[in-house]
Structure 1
């Protein structure tokens, strides 16, 4: 309990640090042959030096060095250092020597410039370790803060992309149901049941950071069944699965945007058979997803990639940075997608 209070109290922490730091230097002087009392008196000048340290590290350093104003920093720092050295000599001359050490005849050159500069150099050496500690502490604190902000930014961006994705998926699915209702299809109730399963997935399972690949594939199957109701006999679908999916965990809603994109392109074909192929494979701890679908013979701006694929690309960059490849290609009136995710420590 006492340790926790100490760690949270900045003044107590700093006070304890200086006490320990001074004791180390006093003990070093004792090892060199000084009495403990004499060694303690030698460091009474710290009463003046420590405030100078705080002026330097908490004002001059962040105001000038951090902003790369080096010339201004040295123009201010050097005179302050010399002034600090001179004030320490005054303290020794008028208090430490005559009253504590009972030395009545200090050297005549006590306030000479070489002595002042020599003490200034000693002050710099004495402040070396605390300055290094402060700089390292600030570095790691800034690093932690930057990592925290980047993480919060990524979480916010992911939440935004998910919030876009679910309405986008619902919009597409409702369009499918609307098509069935126009035809007064008897399959509409079944489609509503499929939609219920899909919404349950997107509202609950998709809110998790990771889910099993098996659940994601079940979600894909539900979506395909819904699309089959719309395309009927026109749809020629090949779905190929390879590998062991039971222990694979991935972020939700990775496969469905690729399926939506494939069916969207096929929907542009008003007539004829549409061929769509999906391949999902797990080999050597890598997940590979390939889709192939026809592209309608319409201007390219009419069948460009939609929100789903764009969001998927952004999400992959956030969740699997440098651990995935995502390729989109159109050739010979067919559209190919290839997604490969490295599952090691994913």
Structure 2
């Protein structure tokens, strides 16, 4: 079962109160249209009787129905229901007797406890009892729906934390490789790089536990990571920001795997002059991350790498955080021949459906030995 939001269950108590008020007014309103338009006093008598009987039906709905009918104790339930209806008739007989003793002739005529009156009141009692049962099960359905939504949110929160936990050791492993490479060179830059690693780990351990983080911090995190990678590689590495990132909140660690992936493709290739260009473009409509690097690796190898831990985890996070499908395109062009593999992902998870109603797009393109990743997140 899938729900878009929890708005229909926010006012369950108000709905229940409305149902009980409607129950109290039902008999008076129907009788007003049929019997005593000319006598307001009788209307108030009937309304008063219904108000007096309302606690009994609330008791029936809140105690008898859940403890016996809902628990499938049918013998006890039907026995108690018969006793309940009999008790209602006895109470009505007492009320009618009082009205008969002190009321006018018109009121006595209406409240005479004759056989037809007994049939009428029995029918009303049965109708009220059925409505009380319906109110219980409607309320129960709302409660179960509310619980289901809460459980779904907890499940999505757990999944998101699990995915982030997967990213942390993967990222740490890659970063430690950078520091190891630096230490092997006995570089004087090692202490400064260790401090940058400490900043990265502080962000991973403490700040990434938040549901959202400022985009400025995510950018700073990427910058620190790039500084670490620059130590390992003497290459053309650029990171450009276009637009204003202030005041924008985003889920943590959405971008880093694609940046890591770009470094891996660029520097595992056979090119001496490797490059990687990273651009983060921010507009009022969307946020676009583009990672471009050169590579000599063929399509099949690239496809396998795209399914690696970091990219796969980021894809799963995107599925969880964004409600609609996205397309992954892998394209390689060689000698005027091309082939394309499209992997479509459906059934996006619910964690932040209300926060992110629009789609996101992830394009991965390998063309003329240039590898491009473009991730577009539409802003709400």
User: Partner residue of 1:245?
Assistant: 245
What's the CA shift for 1:151? 1.6
Query: CA–CA distance in 1 between the matches of 2:43 and 2:254?
Result: 74
User: Partner residue of 2:236?
Assistant: 236
Describe how 1:1-346 pairs up with structure 2 within 5 A: 33-34=41-42, 57-58=65-66, 62=70, 119-127=121-129, 130-131=132-133, 133-232=135-234, 235-269=235-269, 272-297=272-297, 300=301, 303-322=305-324, 323-332=358-367, 333-344=369-380
What's the CA shift for 1:226? 0.7
CA contact (8 A) 2:57 2:128 kept: no
Query: CA–CA distance in 2 between the matches of 1:219 and 1:308?
Result: 16
Change (3 A) 1:305 1:295: farther
What's the CA shift for 1:172? 0.8
What's the CA shift for 1:245? 1.3
Query: CA–CA distance in 2 between the matches of 1:42 and 1:197?
Result: 70
Gaps of at least 5 residues in structure 2 are: 1-15, 102-107, 325-357
Query: CA–CA distance in 1 between the matches of 2:242 and 2:142?
Result: 46
Describe the superposition over 1:168-188 as per-residue Cα deviations: whole angstroms up to 9, x where unpaired: 111111122223333444443
What's the CA shift for 1:37? 8.9
What's the CA shift for 1:206? 2.3
Query: CA–CA distance in 1 between the matches of 2:46 and 2:186?
Result: 103
What's the CA shift for 1:49? 7.0
Change (3 A) 1:341 1:84: same
SS at the partner of 1:247? coil
Cα RMSD, aligned residues only: 4.6
Change (3 A) 1:218 1:88: closer
Change (3 A) 1:199 1:79: closer
Gaps of at least 5 residues in structure 1 are: 1-13, 65-72
CA contact (8 A) 1:211 1:249 kept: yes
Change (3 A) 1:252 1:86: closer
Query: CA–CA distance in 2 between the matches of 1:47 and 1:279?
Result: 67
The one of the two structures with greater contact order (alpha-carbon pairs below 8 A, sep at least 6) is 2
Query: CA–CA distance in 2 between the matches of 1:149 and 1:277?
Result: 42
TM-score, structure 1 normalization: 0.68
CA contact (8 A) 1:49 1:84 kept: no
Describe the superposition over 1:141-199 as per-residue Cα deviations: whole angstroms up to 9, x where unpaired: 22322221122112212222222221111111112222333344444334323212222
What's the CA shift for 1:309? 2.0
SS at the partner of 2:155? helix
Describe the superposition over 1:230-261 as per-residue Cα deviations: whole angstroms up to 9, x where unpaired: 112xx222333211112222222222121111
CA contact (8 A) 2:215 2:245 kept: yes
